[in-house]
């Protein structure tokens, strides 16, 4: 499923994100349909990735359940493998990015000579993929269009994006969720390297929303070869969509003005799909069951679920 265009009873809004189609119902509920779209460098790539939506939604649902004792979450129903229905929250305009290792964006920043990221001082003499002494939080703004931007804790509070009280609570939740995510990953022979969490408010209650510990929001290393590869200065075996970003960079695309997305052939699209399924099976410990669901069945199941909420 690449995109949807449903009209549900009491529908009050529709938002098409980079990956998700989100329908607001009666200003109370949100129907989130996770498409097979894929984005990188904040750009939606032209080719859909088979089963990607199902992978993301099912991992997120399982991880929400595994962290509900830490923070309440928005989920009310998961009527289909690629659909979640939950409570409409007032979304905080910042994503809480947390990093346990010097990888991806943090490594590119460090490699350039910078020693500060989002107001956080980075230690000297680190190698790519080394662990930080303790996990660091490097927030980013949420952009509906264009690029998300790094931002510091002090900037967030000074600009009134989030109150200091709420931000302190978000930091506490973020570190606790990351610790739980690392524990869950370790059981499956993985290292949770970095991830992001999104939060909203329902009245005075802060809730975890969107996705958790998925390949779109997280990076994982295989634990069994981590130490050996670090000592030898070799790249880490990882499960994330970083390889998609690397492929795009190799083909001259980083989402910058004037750059065109390179064509993605069927073999590369299948490789991406296989990698998403691989991550699902590793992080959940379950065999992935491919499910092809028609647009009509999707609409029917969502209507049934809405009637019960």
Q: What is the pLDDT of residues 226-256, one digit of tens each?
A: 999 999 999 999 887 888 988 999 999 998 9
289 is a domain residue: yes
Check whether residue 153 and residue 202 sit in a common domain.
Answer: yes
Structure-token match 């998609």, residue found: 244
132 is a domain residue: yes
d(CA 263, CA 244): 13
Query: 53: Cβ–Cβ under 8 A, 6 or more apart, which residues?
Result: 1, 19, 33, 34, 35, 36, 81, 82
Check whether residue 230 and residue 171 sit in a common domain.
Answer: yes
- Residue 98 sits in a domain whose CATH number is 3.30.470.20
Q: What is the pLDDT of residue 206?
A: 98
Is residue 144's pLDDT more than 60?
no
Average pLDDT, whole number, for the chain? 94
Q: What is the pLDDT of residue 141?
A: 94
Q: What is the pLDDT of residue 248?
A: 94
Q: Is the pTM of this model over 0.75?
A: yes
pLDDT in tens, 66-83: 999 999 999 999 999 999
CA atoms in the 13 A half-sphere facing the CB of 227: 1
Check whether residue 54 and residue 143 sit in a common domain.
Answer: no
pLDDT in tens, 207-233: 999 999 998 899 999 999 999 999 999
252 is a domain residue: no
210 is a domain residue: yes
Check whether residue 20 and residue 50 sit in a common domain.
Answer: yes
The model's confidence at residue 181, banded by pLDDT at 50, 70 and 90, is very high
Check whether residue 146 and residue 86 sit in a common domain.
Answer: no
Neighbour tally for 119: CB within 10 Å: 15
203 is a domain residue: yes
**Could you list the residue range(s) of the whole structural domain that residue 119 is in?**
91-243
- Tokens in use for 141? 């703004």
Check whether residue 21 and residue 104 sit in a common domain.
Answer: no
What is the mean predicted confidence (pLDDT) over 20-26? 96
Check whether residue 47 and residue 130 sit in a common domain.
Answer: no
Check whether residue 210 and residue 96 sit in a common domain.
Answer: yes
Helix (H, G, I), strand (E, B) or coil at 83: strand
- Count of structural domains within the chain: 2
Check whether residue 171 and residue 61 sit in a common domain.
Answer: no
Helix, strand, coil shares, percent, the chain, to 5: 30, 25, 40
- Residue 69 sits in a domain whose CATH number is 3.30.200.20
292 is a domain residue: yes
CA-CA-CA-CA dihedral for 207, 210, 216, 221, to nearest 10: 30
Check whether residue 280 and residue 179 sit in a common domain.
Answer: no
65 is a domain residue: yes
Is residue 146's pLDDT more than 60?
no
Check whether residue 81 and residue 111 sit in a common domain.
Answer: no
Buried b (16+ CB within 10 A) or exposed e, 64-89: bebbeeebebbbbbbbbbbbbbbbbb
Per the CB < 8 A criterion, the answer to whether 192 and 185 are in contact is yes
264 is a domain residue: no
Is residue 32's pLDDT more than 70?
yes
Last residue of a domain, one of 225, 243, 261: 243
Check whether residue 82 and residue 99 sit in a common domain.
Answer: no
What is the mean predicted confidence (pLDDT) over 268-288? 92
């Amino acid at each position: 499923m690449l995109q949807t265009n449903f009209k549900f009873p009491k529908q009050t809004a529709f938002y098409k994100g980079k990956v998700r189609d989100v329908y607001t119902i009666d200003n109370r509920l949100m129907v989130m349909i996770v498409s097979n779209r894929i984005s990188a460098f904040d750009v939606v790539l032209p080719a859909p990735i088979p089963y990607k939506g199902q992978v993301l939604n099912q991992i997120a649902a399982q991880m929400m359940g595994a962290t509900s004792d830490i923070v309440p979450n928005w989920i009310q129903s998961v009527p289909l493998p690629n659909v979640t229905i939950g409570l409409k929250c007032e979304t905080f305009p910042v994503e809480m990015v947390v990093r346990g290792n010097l990888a991806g964006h943090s490594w590119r920043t460090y490699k350039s000579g910078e020693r500060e990221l989002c107001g956080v001082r980075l230690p000297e003499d680190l190698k790519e993929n080394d662990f930080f002494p303790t996990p660091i939080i490097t927030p980013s703004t949420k952009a509906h269009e264009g690029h998300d931007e790094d931002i510091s804790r002090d900037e967030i509070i000074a600009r009134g994006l989030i109150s200091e009280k709420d931000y302190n609570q978000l930091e506490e939740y973020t570190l606790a969720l990351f610790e739980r995510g690392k524990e869950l990953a370790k059981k499956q022979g993985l290292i949770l390297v970095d991830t992001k969490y999104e939060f909203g408010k329902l009245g005075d209650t802060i809730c975890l929303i969107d996705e958790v510990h998925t390949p779109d929001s997280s990076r994982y290393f295989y634990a069994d070869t981590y130490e050996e590869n670090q000592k030898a200065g070799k790249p880490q075996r990882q499960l994330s969509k970083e390889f998609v970003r690397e492929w795009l960079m190799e083909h001259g695309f980083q989402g910058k003005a004037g750059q065109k997305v390179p064509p993605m052939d069927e073999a590369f699209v299948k490789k991406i799909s296989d990698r998403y399924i691989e991550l699902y099976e590793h992080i959940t410990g379950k065999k992935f069951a491919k499910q092809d669901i028609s647009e009509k069945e999707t609409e029917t199941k969502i209507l049934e679920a809405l009637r019960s909420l």
